[in-house]
Structure 1
């Protein structure tokens, strides 16, 4: 890994780190901040952040107890966070950027856990699996051009990401939700993929300041997941190769890049339709 990537602030200018860039810029020394710094950052960035059960969020060392991760967050607002761990650092920043959606996911996890227990069903089930996948590698594609999300959902990669690149840059935003994706994007690799939800908006959305656009999308995403939880499965989340997004790698600055089927695979099965605004 590039040694510069060991300094959070060096990531702030990279594509796909936009939702957390303002906070990354604060940490210009190597390594990641500790629990007290993360608590202070959350109190400033998202003072309203609460668990699915309504408890104020704080970042604590893992304890290895039997309560379970989601149950601990729900009941006490305690987010287990390993010291010096980049993956958990990005999870803390996700709480800063997406407080409503993180709370909604936590609440949905607990509701599904209790529902399956009451029904005598074993295992986590597809809804919790999908919530976890989205928490780790979720992406919201917001576009004022309905054709572009439809093309991406249909795996028309070259058409959407290359042929219509100028239009894509003008009308479409790629907002990472998954903290695992940010961790992997420190050293991106061929095949790196997101689990995607598509949203079509009015052109006026594009004129919103970045912080306002993120907050509005956070509210939309939380409501969308709650409203659609019955149909949520891992297969309902559309794959999108992150290295195909303009700006993520200089390698994608040519049409031939999108013909590499190791990353840009043709579609199988039905497309995931873009959601309305």
Structure 2
């Protein structure tokens, strides 16, 4: 007896502000999975991607996941929300995902698979799993870097109307299926205005390099603090939680 359609993906509220960039292909894939189609088949049917999605069993024992993708252009895919969002990332950010795969494959080829990933592979994994892209007026970025939460979310709150934040990391998107205040993105500054996802994708892919990632060019951002993303942050006491909105570390 086959699994019930609901077994593969949880219910997804596509009206969440952080899912706007993912809604169109995501709903179509989720609908197919809900009708009983295997996730890898649903992803392949919905929108072209630079990889072909394949069952997880396609990955040979002992071969690194990223190396296998680079060698075959097949992306092993497990049922469930984690690889669902990973598949959507390949569709919406094909150039960025290809660049991340190229950098991972080069690091593996140079150093092999070791218990400790090293700074570049560690940063690549953080980026792939948890990154978000922010295009914002300079005062917002300065406040984010300084972890000056009062300035970021209260003093300069009106400037968020000029900002754009796009979530990228598939683990981050998965975690936000059950929103919790501590969920934090690793934000990567996107310099140009984001006129389209395709333009953002091209810019990020061109900007990424092993040397840049080794510096861990991220800033932590508790995403439910973003104005308009969560009703509770309309009460500014929301930001008084020092376990979430942590002060900068003293050197």
CA distance in structure 2 between the partners assigned to 1:176 and 1:255 by the alignment: 24
Cα distance, 1:233–1:251 mapped onto 2, change above 3 Å: farther
Counterpart position of 1:217: 200
* Structure 1: unaligned runs, 5 residues or longer: 44-48, 51-56, 271-277
Contact 1:7 1:28 (8 Å CA) reproduced: no
Aligned residue pairs total 239
* Structure 2: unaligned runs, 5 residues or longer: 1-5
User: 4+ residue stretches of structure 1 with deviation over 3 A?
Assistant: 27-33, 120-123, 233-236
Cα distance, 1:235–1:104 mapped onto 2, change above 3 Å: closer
Structure 2 residue 66 is the aligned partner of structure 1 residue 70? yes
Task: Output the TM-score relative to the length of structure 1.
Answer: 0.79
Cα distance, 1:249–1:60 mapped onto 2, change above 3 Å: same
RMSD across aligned C-alpha pairs, in angstroms?
Answer: 2.4
Q: Measure how far apart 1:233 and its partner are.
A: 3.6
Contact 1:141 1:196 (8 Å CA) reproduced: yes
Q: Measure how far apart 1:28 and its partner are.
A: 4.6
CA distance in structure 2 between the partners assigned to 1:30 and 1:234 by the alignment: 39
Task: Output the TM-score relative to the length of structure 2.
Answer: 0.86
Structure 2 residue 143 is the aligned partner of structure 1 residue 151? yes
Counterpart position of 1:254: 235
Q: Measure how far apart 1:37 and its partner are.
A: 1.6
Q: Measure how far apart 1:139 and its partner are.
A: 0.5
Cα distance, 1:33–1:269 mapped onto 2, change above 3 Å: farther
Cα distance, 1:167–1:73 mapped onto 2, change above 3 Å: same
Counterpart position of 1:6: 10
Cα distance, 1:130–1:196 mapped onto 2, change above 3 Å: same
Q: Measure how far apart 1:265 and its partner are.
A: 0.6
Cα distance, 1:152–1:68 mapped onto 2, change above 3 Å: same
Deviations 1:35-74 (A, max 9, x none): 222101232xxxxx43xxxxxx111111262111001111
